[in-house]
Amino acid sequence: MSNIPETGRTPRVTVRLVAIQILVFSLLLTLGGRLWYLQIRNGDEYTRKAANNHVQQVVHPAVRGSILDARGVPLADNETRLVVSASRTALMKEPDDGKAVLTRLAGVLKMKPDDVQDKVRLCDAKTPQPCWNGSPYQPIPITDEASPQQALQIREREEDFPGISAEPTAVRRYAAPAGSNAAQVLGYLSPVTDEQIKKAEKTKSPLLRSDQVGSNGLEHEYDSRLRGKAGVTRYEVDNLGRVIGQKESQKARPGDNVVTSIDSRVQAVAEKELAQAMKDARKVHDRNTGINYKADSGAVVVMEAKTGRVVAMASNPTYDPNAWVGGISGKDYKQLTGKNSNYPLLNRAIQGQAAPGSIFKVIPTTAAVNAGYDFDGRFPCTSSFSIGSQVFKNFESANYGSINLGRALEVSCDTVFYNLAYEQWKKDGGNKPRKKPADWFYKTAHQFGLGKETGIDLPNEVTGRVPDRQWKKDYWKANKDGWCKSAKKDGDYGQRLSYENCLEGMKMRAGDSVNFSIGQGDTLVTPIQMATIYSAISNGGTLYDPSIGKAIISPDGKKVTKIKPTPHGKLPMNAATRDKIDSALAGVATRGTAAWRFGGWPQDKIPMHAKTGTAEVYGKQTTSWFATYTKDYSVIMTISQGGTGSGASGPAVRKIYNALYGIGGKGGIDKKKALLPEPQADLPKIESDGSIEAQPLGKQFAVTANDRRRGAQR
Partner 1 sequence: MSASTRDYSVRRFTPERGTWSKLTARDSLVRRLDWVLLVCALALSAIGAALVYSATRNRTELNQGDPYYFLVRHALNTGIGLLLAIGTIWLGHRTLRGAVPILYGLSVVLVLAVLTPLGSTVNGAHAWIQVGGGFSLQPSEFAKITIILGMAILLATRVDAGDRVHPDHRTVVQSLGLAALPIAIVLLMPDLGSVMVMAVIVLAVLLASGASNRWVAGLILTAVTGAVLIWQLGVLDQYQIDRFAAFANPALDPAGVGYNTNQARIAIGSGGLTGKGLFHGTQTTGQFVPEQQTDFVFTVAGEELGFLGAGLIIVLLGIVLWRACRIARDTSELYGTVVAAGIIAWFAFQAFENIGMTLGIMPVAGLPLPFVSYGGSSMFAVWIAVGLLQSIRVQRPVSA
- 36 lies in the binding site for partner 1 (CB under 8 A): yes
- Integer Cα distance of 641 and 647 in angstroms: 12
Q: Which is nearer to partner 1, 17 or 92 (CB)?
A: 17
- Integer Cα distance of 663 and 421 in angstroms: 41
Q: What is residue 190's DSSP assignment?
A: E
Q: Which is nearer to partner 1, 10 or 203 (CB)?
A: 10
CA distances from 135 to 165, 168, 335, 405, 444 (A): 17, 21, 31, 68, 57
Q: Contacting partner 1 (CB under 8 A), which of 13, 92, 576, 702?
A: 13
- Helices 362-370, 575-590: inter-axial angle, 10-degree rounding: 150
- The answer to whether 517 touches 355, Cβ cutoff 8 Å, is no
- Integer Cα distance of 451 and 526 in angstroms: 10
Q: Which is nearer to partner 1, 17 or 576 (CB)?
A: 17
Q: Which is nearer to partner 1, 4 or 291 (CB)?
A: 4
Neighbours of 624 (CB within 10 A): 32
- Integer Cα distance of 68 and 91 in angstroms: 41
Which of 440, 391, 441, 399 lies closest to 416, judged by CA?
A: 399
Q: How far is the CB of 40 from partner 1 (least distance, A)?
A: 6
- 12 lies in the binding site for partner 1 (CB under 8 A): yes
Question: Site mask, partner 1, residues 513-532, x = CB under 8 A?
Answer: --------------------
Q: How far is the CB of 247 from partner 1 (least distance, A)?
A: 9
Q: In terms of DSSP H, where are the helices of 58-161? A: 88-92, 99-109, 113-120, 148-156
Q: How far is the CB of 158 from partner 1 (least distance, A)?
A: 24
3-state secondary structure of 121: coil
- 27 lies in the binding site for partner 1 (CB under 8 A): yes
Residues 438-467 that bind partner 1 (CB under 8 A): none
- 92 lies in the binding site for partner 1 (CB under 8 A): no
- The answer to whether 164 touches 109, Cβ cutoff 8 Å, is no
Question: Site mask, partner 1, residues 131-170, x = CB under 8 A?
Answer: ----------------------------------------
Q: Which is nearer to partner 1, 55 or 576 (CB)?
A: 55
Q: Which is nearer to partner 1, 34 or 334 (CB)?
A: 34
Q: How far is the CB of 234 from partner 1 (least distance, A)?
A: 12
Q: How far is the CB of 7 from partner 1 (least distance, A)?
A: 4
- Integer Cα distance of 433 and 429 in angstroms: 4
- 122 lies in the binding site for partner 1 (CB under 8 A): no
3-state secondary structure of 470: helix
Q: Which is nearer to partner 1, 237 or 669 (CB)?
A: 237
Which of 431, 653, 437, 424 lies closest to 530, judged by CA?
A: 653
CA distances from 240 to 51, 99, 123, 244, 326 (A): 15, 20, 21, 10, 32
Q: Which is nearer to partner 1, 10 or 340 (CB)?
A: 10
Q: Which is nearer to partner 1, 24 or 123 (CB)?
A: 24
Q: How far is the CB of 9 from partner 1 (least distance, A)?
A: 7
Q: What is residue 192's DSSP assignment?
A: P
Question: Site mask, partner 1, residues 42-61, x = CB under 8 A?
Answer: xx-xxx-xxx-xxx------
What's the count of helices (H) and strands (E) in the chain, helices before strands?
A: 24, 23
Q: What is residue 146's DSSP assignment?
A: -
Q: How far is the CB of 28 from partner 1 (least distance, A)?
A: 5
The per-residue b/e assignment along 495-534, b for 16 or more CB within 10 angstroms, e otherwise, is eebbbebbeebebbbbbbbbbbbbbbbebbbbbbbbbbbb
Q: How far is the CB of 124 from partner 1 (least distance, A)?
A: 16
Q: How far is the CB of 323 from partner 1 (least distance, A)?
A: 43
- 9 lies in the binding site for partner 1 (CB under 8 A): yes
Beta carbons within 8 Å of 95's beta carbon, 6+ residues apart: none
Q: Which is nearer to partner 1, 41 or 204 (CB)?
A: 41
Q: Which is nearer to partner 1, 54 or 509 (CB)?
A: 54
Burial class of 205 by CB neighbour count within 10 A (0 to 12, 13 to 18, 19+): middle
Residues 192-251 that bind partner 1 (CB under 8 A): 236-239, 244-245
Q: How far is the CB of 92 from partner 1 (least distance, A)?
A: 16
- Integer Cα distance of 343 and 41 in angstroms: 59
Q: Which is nearer to partner 1, 246 or 713 (CB)?
A: 246
Question: Site mask, partner 1, residues 563-582, x = CB under 8 A?
Answer: --------------------
Q: How far is the CB of 91 from partner 1 (least distance, A)?
A: 21
- 4 lies in the binding site for partner 1 (CB under 8 A): yes
Which residues of the shown chain bind partner 1 in the complex (CB under 8 A)? 1, 3-10, 12-14, 16-17, 19-21, 23-25, 27-28, 30-32, 34-36, 38-40, 42-43, 45-47, 49-51, 53-55, 236-239, 244-245
